[in-house]
Structure 1
Amino acid sequence: MPKVTLSSFPVSALFGVVKPSGPTSMSIVNDIQQLVARSRLFVDPEKLEKMKGKKLDRRRGKAGREAVKIGQGGTLDPLADGVLVIGVGKGTKKLNEFLNCVKEYQTTCLLGCETDSYDCEGARVRLAPWQHVTREKVEVALPQFTGEIIQVPPIFSALKMDGKPLYEYARKGIPLPRPIEGRKVTVHSLEIVKWLGRDHAFRWPEKQLSSEEKQALETALKSVQEDASINDEPEMASNSQIPTAFVLKMKVSGGTYVRSIVHDLAHSLGSAGHVVTLKRSRQGRFVLDPVEEDDQECVPWEVFEKALSDVGECDEDGWTEWEKNVMQRLNDV
């Protein structure tokens, strides 16, 4: 390992973590905080002394919060994996820069089924034909979702309208006070990188909305769109068939909903669709696979996971393995 040339310790910093699919972004931050709060890399000696003897506790982060500030620069859904930017100390003040930066994603769309969350963790809302969709038809449709577009966020999102989250209107059947406001976003590039067809293991969610839940959702939608319908299309084929899937790669501005692009694209094809995989491969300068001179490689989550179980021995300079991994990849603020 090359010698670290950081000016002094402790440091404030930014670094990227490769988030796995499954845990929430906040749980990742809380776990990393347990390590950061006990490291001379980030904590001054006086506060570090107070942390001595306190065991790692991944369920409670209060002690860690008292020792050092930590945050993340753009939440990833539990389903998603990939780049999660972490800020420590004064680095937390730089995290806003990553909310509006250019981001790159890869996502798999599964046709034939629309869900309330627009992804596979939600419940079935509507089934629609998918057999007519070909790769050529998708490629023809992609340009209308490229460039500067107006995107309407999903009704099952945490965005608030008159102080109430949108998902609350949908779940309780409360009419929306007004249509969901579209937002201007930029899709710099959008392409198919793999046509899976039916050669995959993805299936529609088993969870379905009850008739009461469907009625509530339709009530909320019809308050702003009279012809809104969430009924299955009558010509829908048997559920036993394996539906078509394909993988999209996109480079987008901050604030873009990948799930909405997949949902709206499927609608434009006369079908329905939802996200079954989602990977963020770039967030600003932090990337999974560096290709440009200024690209910053991210720290694999396994490095932190291993340290949380056993922090390990220090080297001759007093650094543990996880600290060395972070020092190789951080930006000193």
Structure 2
Amino acid sequence: MPKVVPSSLPISGLFALAKPSGPTSMAVINDIKPLIGNSRLFVETSKLDKLGKGKKKKGKRAREAVKIGQGGTLDPLADGVLVVGVGKGTKNLSEFLDCVKEYRTTCLLGCETDSYDSEGAQVRLASWKHVTRESVEKALSQFRGDIEQKPPVFSALKMDGKPLYEYARQGIPLPRPIEKRPVTVHEIEIVEWLGGEHEFKYPMKKFSDEEKQALAKSLQGVEGDVPIKDEVDTDADVNSLTPTAFVLRMKVSGGTYVRSIVHDLGHAVGSAGHVVTLTRTRQGRFALEPKEPEDFGCVSWDVFQKAVTDAGNPDADGWAEWEREVMERLDVVG
């Protein structure tokens, strides 16, 4: 790992932070921009001197002092590895869009949503009591290797210039089937069978009958037999139970929709399912738990949050805590 020394400053590079669940990736980047833009680690001292002492102006100018970007957006629900590029490091971010990534995700059976995760609205309920660990493990064989994956109909992907979600919400028939994308699932396995021992709940928001009809109309004739109606158990004892949940670990190629895998897996076992937790544990050479010599770890989000409100006292060399944390995990570029 390159070592940052004062004589090499300022530098460009890549590092990863551990994004929390909740904020968008862009919100996280915007939060750390003032820190990056006011650091001699990344900005020439002469530029820092010109930023001025006024706090209002300083914040805006600091964000413009050096380029900063991220190498692969995580949904608000998702947490984990978010690769950040600073300076010339932003030119290397494209390599992380197509690199191998690893995820850990929790699937909750019995309900599918428009977004394929718990942030969306209920579209369909289905029986889940018949699903066993063995049946899920058997179904996983369909999702290993080179597969073709269909993006969610409620996505921003465009067809004839219109986002797919507009067709689905407005009841406009799709002009043609949603094009499948080739992806590679290198590894996928169950790492924890939670059963009913969890506190996950179905989303409170539900599709109305009108919204279900609009969705069915948009898919009619081009997507085959897509179930929209609820297929729930009539047994009152079953309906009083907590639906089954389980955790998957997967290693996939760039462009893979983890939510789609969970959604399709729910169908494969004769039920429905959606994502309730999603963690990106690795993105290329950056990982939450580094295992290889060439791996880089992630800076805790708590370190940045603390620095935003109180940078604290610098060390003997003049570095703040967040700067030291970044330097220990920094992949220097150029």
| Matched residue type, 2:251 | K
Q: What does 1:8-47 align with in structure 2 at a 5 Å threshold? A: 8-47=8-47
CA RMSD after TM alignment: 1.9
User: 1:200 and 1:46, CA in 2 relative to 1: closer, same or farther beyond 3 A?
Assistant: same
In 2: Cα distance, 1:6 partner to 1:248 partner: 44
- Corresponding residue number in structure 2 for 1:230: 228
Instruction: Decide whether the 8 Å contact of 1:37 with 1:51 is kept in 2.
Output: no
The aligned counterpart of 1:168 is: 166
In structure 2, relative to structure 1, the CA distance for the partners of 1:27 and 1:326 (3 Å cut) is same
Alignment CA distance shift 1:201-1:56 (3 Å): farther
Decide which of 178, 181, 184 is 1:180's aligned counterpart.
178
Give the TM-score normalised by structure 1: 0.95
1:257 is the counterpart of 2:257 = yes
Aligned length: 330
Q: Give SS of 1:125's match.
A: strand
Please, which of 141, 147, 159 is the counterpart of residue 143 of structure 1?
Answer: 141
Q: Which amino acid aligns with 1:242?
A: T
Name the amino acid aligned to 2:309: S
C-alpha separation in 1, matches of 2:224 and 2:268: 19
Moved more, 212-221 or 256-265: 212-221
Contact 1:157-1:165 at 8 Å conserved across structures: yes
Counterpart residue type for residue 52 of structure 2: K
CA distance in 1, matches of 2:103, 2:204: 26
Q: Is 1:288 the counterpart of 2:291 in the alignment?
A: no
Q: What's the offset of the Cα at 1:54?
A: 4.1
SS of residue paired to 1:327: helix
Q: Which amino acid aligns with 1:316?
A: A
The answer to whether residue 272 in structure 2 is matched with residue 272 in structure 1 is yes
Q: 1:121 aligns with which of 119, 134, 141?
A: 119
Cα separation, 1, equivalents of 2:327 and 2:209: 54
Greater alpha carbon shift after TM alignment, 323-332 vs 165-174: 165-174
- Other structure's SS at 1:280 match: strand
- Give aligned-pair identity as a percent: 68
What are the ranges of 5 or more consecutive residues in structure 1 without an aligned counterpart?
none
- Which residue identity lines up with residue 154 of structure 2 in the other structure? F
Give CA-to-partner distance per residue, 1:205-254, whole Å, 9 cap, x none. 11101222222211111141353331101545555421000000000000
Paired position in structure 2 for 1:219: 217
Cα-to-partner distance string for 1:12-52 (whole Å, 9 max, x where unaligned): 11000000010100001111111001111111123212323
Deviates more, 1:5-14 or 1:128-137: 5-14
| 2:320 matched residue in structure 1 | 320
Partner of 2:53: 53
Match of 1:85 in 2: 83
Query: CA 1:248–1:234 in structure 2 vs 1: closer, same or farther (change >3 Å)?
Result: closer
Partner of 2:102: 104
In structure 2, what residue type is equivalent to 1:233?
Answer: E
Unaligned segments of structure 2, at least 5 residues: none
Q: Is the 8 A contact 1:111 1:130 kept in 2?
A: yes
Taking the aligned partners of 1:231 and 1:61, their CA distance within structure 2 comes to 52
Q: Is the Cα–Cα contact under 8 Å of residues 69 and 88 in structure 1 kept in the other structure?
A: yes
Please tell me the residue identity of whatever aligns with 1:119: D
Q: 1:7–1:236: structure 2 CA closer, same or farther, 3 Å change rule?
A: farther
